[in-house]
């Protein structure tokens, strides 16, 4: 429904199996590494009516437009005047500006993570979309990783003792964004995952440490999140590693769960400590059981964009809300503040002892 109470009229598309459904008029702003993937999926999904793309690099925009046979707009305003919804995949430093423009045009938006580069801008985006009565979804794509979806079915928040997340990427050729540190680029994925998995428990304590290795901002970082007396999480993130790693380990009373987010696998290790008498009256002891969990294969981006469709076209609740995006930005901001403070203190000490 459009702000002001007038109902949006959607064209009708066809789902697999012949079932009719509403089509959502949508566009993409930003056609780089992530934006190009948005265009690919949207062009394949019949529930979307992809109206076109915009990028401030006209050569890149034309390349993507030609590849996916979609219109290239000459301005963001022109695109926004023709759509009901938009995905925004521009550099993080432009999220507030472009997101605000979408809201001013009455357009629902999915903004790639981080929602903004600081909490003030993130708060402003949440506020303006709420005031306009528009849906705002944040692109924390790991929420839609099928391994994470299966993991949610297995854990009980009140029994979790410890969580460890490792997210490593090589420095060059990885398609990483460059206008933020590893904290806002990589670590934010696991900050969002862990805080959402631990709901309704809130983060009570934050500790961060990081190092600059190959760039002018933090390239390797560790943070510790404390939830309550008996639960904490350790998150390691690097964009200067030799290989690509994405893992989660969840430890609770009686079992542990290991998740490989790249291979999309979930393994449960359960303590049993059972003693029994065998067939020939010999005793044996079973100390644990290992179970491989079946994980359906679905592209996370496709699931994420379908979720956005459901929120806008079917008026369902947004799965990754602006408030969730804001929470992640606030935690990242505090980790980054502590990293800067520690590095400044180290520089002062080195200067003192020089």
Residues counted in the chain: 354
Please report, for residues 25, 87, 184, the alpha-carbon distance to residue 189 in angstroms, rounded to integers and kept in the order given.
28, 18, 8
CATH architecture type of domain 12-134: 3-Layer(aba) Sandwich (3.40)
Predicted pLDDT of residue 1: 44
Predicted pLDDT of residue 275: 56
Report the distance separating Cα 346 and Cα 260, nearest Å. 36
The reply to whether domains 12-134 and 143-296+332-342 share a CATH topology is no
Helix, strand or coil, per DSSP, at residue 350: helix
Helix, strand or coil, per DSSP, at residue 26: strand
> pTM above 0.95?
no
Predicted pLDDT of residue 212: 83
Contacts of 210 (CB under 8 A, 6+ apart): 181, 182, 183, 218, 219, 220, 221, 222, 335, 336, 339, 342, 343
Give the model confidence (pLDDT) of 187-210 as tens digits: 999 999 999 999 999 999 999 999
Predicted pLDDT of residue 215: 74
CATH class of the domain whose range is 143-296+332-342:
alpha beta
Give the model confidence (pLDDT) of 83-102 as tens digits: 999 999 999 999 999 999 99
Mean pLDDT by 10 residues, the chain (354 residues): 46 55 95 97 98 97 98 98 98 96 98 96 98 98 98 90 96 59 94 96 95 83 92 96 95 92 95 60 67 95 98 98 98 95 80 54
Terminal Cα-to-Cα distance of the chain (whole angstroms):
65
Residue ranges per domain, the chain? 12-134, 143-296+332-342
Calculated CA dihedral for residues 258, 260, 261, 267, nearest 10 degrees: -50
């Amino acid at each position: 429904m459009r702000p002001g109470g007038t109902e949006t009229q959607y064209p009708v598309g066809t789902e697999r199996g012949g079932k009719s459904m509403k089509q959502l008029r949508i566009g993409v702003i930003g056609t780089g590494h992530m934006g190009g993937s948005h265009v690919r999926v949207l062009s394949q999904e019949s529930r979307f009516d992809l109206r076109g793309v915009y990028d401030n690099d006209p050569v890149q925009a034309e390349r993507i437009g030609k590849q996916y046979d979609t219109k290239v707009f000459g301005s963001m305003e022109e695109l926004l005047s023709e759509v009901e919804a938009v995905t925004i995949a521009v550099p993080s430093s432009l999220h507030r500006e472009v997101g605000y423009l979408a809201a001013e045009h009455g357009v629902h938006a999915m903004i790639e993570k981080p929602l903004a580069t600081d909490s003030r801008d993130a708060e402003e985006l949440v506020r303006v979309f709420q005031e306009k009565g528009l849906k705002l979804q944040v692109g924390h794509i790991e929420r839609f990783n099928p391994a994470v979806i299966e993991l949610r079915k297995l854990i009980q928040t009140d029994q979790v003792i410890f969580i460890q997340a490792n997210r490593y990427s090589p420095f060059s050729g990885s398609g990483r964004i460059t206008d933020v540190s590893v904290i806002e680029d990589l670590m934010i994925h696991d900050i969002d995952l862990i805080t959402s998995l631990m709901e309704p428990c809130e983060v009570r304590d934050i500790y961060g440490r990081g190092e600059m290795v190959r760039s002018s901002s933090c390239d390797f970082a560790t943070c510790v999140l404390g939830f309550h007396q008996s639960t904490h999480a350790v998150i390691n993130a690097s964009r200067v590693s030799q290989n690509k790693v994405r893992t989660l380990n969840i430890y609770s009373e009686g079992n542990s769960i290991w998740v490989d987010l790249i291979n999309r696998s979930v393994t449960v290790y359960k303590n049993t400590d059972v003693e029994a008498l065998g067939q020939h009256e010999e005793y044996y002891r079973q100390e644990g059981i290992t179970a491989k969990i079946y994980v359906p294969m679905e592209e996370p981006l496709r699931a994420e964009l379908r979720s956005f469709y459901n929120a806008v076209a079917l008026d369902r609740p947004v799965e990754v809300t602006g408030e969730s995006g804001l929470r992640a930005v606030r935690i990242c901001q505090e980790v980054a503040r502590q990293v800067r403070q520690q590095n400044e203190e180290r520089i002062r000490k080195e200067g003192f002892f020089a």
